[in-house]
Amino acid sequence: MKINEIHRLVIEEGENFIFRFEFNPNVNPNAQLSQRSLIIHAPSSASVSGAVSHLANRPPKNSFLPRSTHLVLGRDGREVVQMIPFHTGANHASGFNNRSIAIDLQYPGELVE
């Protein structure tokens, strides 16, 4: 994979990924720092399509900022959904939204406290 001129992933010839771009309007409008950290989250759904659907929902008015993420990765590493271009911020971690890239990784095991 590579990142193209509009900051989206592109599958290169010979790569075996299931990839799609599903735009999420819940972006962070602040200017993004050039050097950013990678933050990995476990999605609230057991499937990639469920996680994407959950992230695409708009919250009710007068509630918290809607959560968003740049990428959702499947448990096998082959299914990839990009929701926000990399030059744009996501709302995912208070205090880090303009200096991080957010990835939701479908966790293959059971999460415990």
- pLDDT (tens, 9 = 90+) of the chain, 113 residues, equals 999 999 999 999 999 999 999 999 889 888 899 899 999 998 878 889 999 998 887 766 766 678 899 999 998 889 999 999 999 999 999 889 999 999 999 876 666 66
Report residue 29 as tokens: 């409008």
Domains and CATH numbers, the chain: 2-105 (3.40.80.10)
Other beta carbons within 10 Å of 105? 17
Q: Which helix (H) or strand (E) holds 18?
A: strand 18-21
Report residue 47 as tokens: 């499937």
pTM exceeds 0.85 for this model: yes
pLDDT the model gives residue 65: 72
User: Rounded distance, CA 71 to CA 67, Å?
Assistant: 12
How many distinct helices (H) and strands (E) make up the chain? Answer: 1, 9
